[in-house]
Structure formats: C-alpha cells, structure tokens
Amino acid sequence: MHYIWLIIIGLIAGSIAKFIIHGSGVGGWIPTILLGIAGSFVGNFLKTLMHIGNPLGETSGLIASTIGAIILLLLYRLFRRVAQPH
C-alpha cells in the first residue's frame, strides 16, 4: 500500500511541478511519476537539513515533494541546455 501511495504522491507532485515550470520538459506520465518520487526524496532531504519535522518518523509531504520535483526539473533543464550543441 505504501508503494501505491508513493506513486500517487509522485504523480501529483510531478504534475504540479510541471505546471509551475512551464515549457518543454520531461514528458509522459511515467517520467512525471518518477520526477515526483525523486522530488519526494529531495524534499525529505531538504527537510532534514533544515530540521523541519521529524526526519525519521514521517515521509516527505506533498509540498516538500513538489519543491523537490521543481528543483529536479530545473536541474534537468539546465543540464539539457548545457548538453545541447551550439
């Protein structure tokens, strides 16, 4: 059940991140879920660094997951722009 919840939160967080950051990015619903799930880990890591909440007892919430997904989406775009030939 935990994995299903993780996928649902990942889809929601990834979708919100893609909505906030307009333009071309990763496409499809599977990359969106993966972006949201990875964003959840990034958000939880940032919460731990800032000592917000209980890092051992709870998973990252939707807001932290979305912030993490936004950070990953921006990094993806930055690296994609750098990697493109001029």
pLDDT value for 82:
82
Quote the mean pLDDT of the chain.
78
30 vs 70, more confident: 70
pLDDT value for 57:
47
Q: Where are the alpha helices (DSSP H) in 1-86?
A: 2-20, 29-49, 62-83
| Single pTM value for the model | 0.77
Task: Tell me which DSSP letter residue 28 carries.
Answer: S
CA atoms within 13 A on the CB side of 47: 23
**What confidence tens digit (pLDDT) does each residue in 49-60 have?**
887 765 544 555
Task: Write the DSSP string, 5-19.
Answer: HHHHHHHHHHHHHHH
Rg of the chain in Å (alpha carbons): 13
Residue 46 has pLDDT above 60, yes or no: yes
- Number of Cβ atoms within 10 Å of the Cβ of 15: 17
